[in-house]
Amino acid sequence: MPQPVTVYRWDDVGAPQIGSANSAEIYNILKKCLVEGYGSKISLGWSLLGEDVNNKIAFKNAASGGCFEMEANDIAPFDKDTLFLITPCQNWLAFGTHDKPGYQKGFQVSDTSSYSAWVLIGTSSGFYFLTGKINSTSIASSMTNATEQVIFVGDIKSYYQNDPAKFIAYSGGQGKDYTWSSRWGGLAHTKAFDYSIGLPGGYGDSLVKVYNMDGSNSFDDMIVRVSRAFRTRTEPPISSNCDVYLPVQLLKEEAKNGWLRGELPGLLYATTAIHAQETWPFISKINNIDYWPLRPNAQAVNLYINTVAW
């Protein structure tokens, strides 16, 4: 059954803010949204598992019991743009000790004052967290070479009943685990959340580790993407009036047969990019449902998050 979605924003009354973009500020935002609430908004009902002095924090969702640990590096040469590493797991035992951990994904927050906007869209089972520019110009003019950072953490919408291992983390880029040595400026500024989603061939893939449904430690490396459909990255001058919206799925590619495990909840991919001239933030109606557009590092929008129910 779909769960109600809550949208938390930097401009809400009583919302925590990003100032120096350090780990304390980001962890406070997550605690307020996931566990404590703020102003008139209640939390998503997650649990805080631990927080230590070494820039680490851990949470557990209220649905499947999936967990994640988050670690920050505020130390030079990472201190200008704080880099966070997120490790999802089916069960969190202690810092650095996880049952069935997934691949470690990266997330960056800039300390530049114009990048102090943040939004968290989520449920009791998962959330999308994004940070980026506060701008008063159109998406096309403000987002060129100014990537919005986005990460999903939580349960996928599995295509299988009673799936015991559906908790993942996913962010842009390619490969499996992110590490401190990757240095965000060389790895992810040019690889947004939609870097490999919907881009067929030649661009690399951001793989997620998904454990088998038999409860064992066996797993599959799965690609996160839509079907191999044609996409546009800039808004066509004339609307086709036949926009197609597709789910973003977890795919296991094999030599002869591929198969799907599920999809990222509440996320739709538009095969025709639109909304290049709108001023962010705004809500887009898709099938009479409110969706939050994700700003790309191209010049128009392809990805949307459902803000009503997943």
**Bridge partners of residue 286, in order along the sequence:** 289
**Per residue in 60-98, pLDDT tens?**
999 999 999 999 876 554 455 678 889 999 999 999 999
pLDDT at residue 255 tops 60 = no
Task: Specify if 280 maps to a domain.
Answer: yes
Cβ-contact 108, 82 below 8 angstroms: yes
The encoded tokens of residue 81 equal 């743009």
- What is the total count of domains within the chain? 1
Task: Specify if 277 maps to a domain.
Answer: yes
Task: Specify if 1 maps to a domain.
Answer: no
Task: Specify if 229 maps to a domain.
Answer: yes
Confidence of residue 194 (pLDDT cuts 50, 70, 90): low
Instruction: Map residue 161 onto helix, strand or coil.
Output: coil
Mean pLDDT across the chain, nearest whole number? 81
Cβ-contact 231, 271 below 8 angstroms: yes
265 or 253: whose pLDDT is higher? 265
Dihedrals φ, ψ of 164, to 5°?
-90, -5
**Report for 159-168, 198-207, 258-267: range of highest mean pLDDT:** 159-168
Confidence of residue 21 (pLDDT cuts 50, 70, 90): confident
pLDDT at residue 237 tops 50 = no
pLDDT at residue 36 tops 60 = yes
**Domain range for residue 283?**
6-306
Which is nearest to 278 in space by CA: 115, 142, 117, 118? 142
pTM of the model: 0.89
Q: What is the mean pLDDT of residues 25-45?
A: 97
Distance CA 268, CA 285 (A): 12
pLDDT at residue 124 tops 50 = yes
The encoded tokens of residue 234 equal 């800039």
Q: What is the mean pLDDT of residues 234-260?
A: 67
Element (H, E) at 30: helix 23-31
Cβ-contact 299, 234 below 8 angstroms: yes
Task: Specify if 72 maps to a domain.
Answer: yes
215 or 259: whose pLDDT is higher? 215
Q: What is the mean pLDDT of residues 278-287?
A: 87
HEC per residue, 178-227: CCHHHCHHHHCCCCCCCCCCCCCCCCCCEEEEEECCCCCCCEEEEEEECC
Residue-by-residue DSSP string for 238-274: S--S---EEEEEEEE--SS--EEEEEEEEEEEEEEEE
pLDDT at residue 32 tops 50 = yes
**Per residue in 195-224, pLDDT tens?**
556 544 434 557 899 999 999 999 999 988
pLDDT at position 182:
54
Cα angle for residues 4, 8, 13 (degrees, 5° grid): 125
